[in-house]
Copies of this chain bind each other. A is one copy, B any other.
């Protein structure tokens, strides 16, 4: 039965294991039908390695209403092509691939502008609106534009970091913040995304990188990654501390990598005249924008859902050893141990966890 003849993606009787969301607080590692090709642009990928994202924790809490009972979670991973639809030309069975967290058709208005995050037939749908990567197999829509080839010999574990976290830190934080050589920048939040931002900010050689967080362990890690200064903001005096470090001037770029009002307003308070605030955080509430002081400060504020347009560039810098994504990986599990992996990742501070790798 060809793909064209299976328009509804009728389930075959083959089974696989997957991590399934069953409403707030409920998840299970259970049997699901193995996915089949539905459209000619799909590919079926056998997962080799995947990981868990902070967004997955939000989903599990019920914070993402679009995710419904029965959905397989996960939007990151590397795998091996099992089967491709008849229109797929960039990949064939047996190819190793990076799965992008963003699905892009390549032919809508947004994709043509490189704004894949808003693809008319894609965007962030994996592990959200369609079944995701925390499973033995996944069906990737628009495979030609949503997968990236892995050459023989590459370090596939490192490349899992290219699915989401590195392009997110780089595009939403570093590129949108317009980090330049000689800049003084602040990264607010030293979780995996903040640290991915730190690693990729080094591409532009800022003079000073100040990292702000509540967790001393993460700040310590930030130092080893290249932060020139760290500030523990638990005393509520981060603004004063930063202003002291910058001789009262503030920072050229303030990158918000948390997603709550307090950290965004911290960015407003530390950005210098002519500077940038680059928001990465996923916000659930509005924030107060102090235009009564900022209106005349010539600042730029940006928001962005990652487009993953920089994945090929990031890949080149991984291959040339200019970027070492494995620094972000702290724990390893078998995919079948995913419930335990969630426990570890869900208690990141206690476990000193950044990213976990799940191997199928």
Contacts and interface: CB of A to CB of B under 8 A. Distances in A.
A96 B87 CA distance: 24
A23 to B, nearest CB: 22
Given A87-B41, A204-B203, A118 B274 contact: yes
A143 to B, nearest CB: 10
Contacts of A313: 180-182
12 contacts: A106-B145, A107-B145, A110-B273, A114-B114, A118-B273, A182-B313, A182-B317, A228-B320, A286-B291, A287-B289, A288-B289, A300-B302
Interface stretch (A67-75, A189-197, A303-311, A326-334): A303-311
Interface stretch (A43-51, A217-225, A276-284): A276-284
B303 A296 contact: yes
Contacts of A181: 203-204, 313, 317, 322
Nearest to A277: B301
B298 A303 contact: yes
A135 interface: no
A216 B40 CA distance: 55
A115 interface: yes
A281 B208 CA distance: 33
A113 B281 CA distance: 27
Contact of A316 (B207, B292, B316): B207
User: Which of A264, A303, A305, A313 neighbours the largest number of chain B CB atoms within 10 Å of its CB?
Assistant: A303
A322 B87 contact: no
Interface in A83-126: 86-87, 89-90, 105-115, 117-118, 121
Interface in A134-150: 144-145
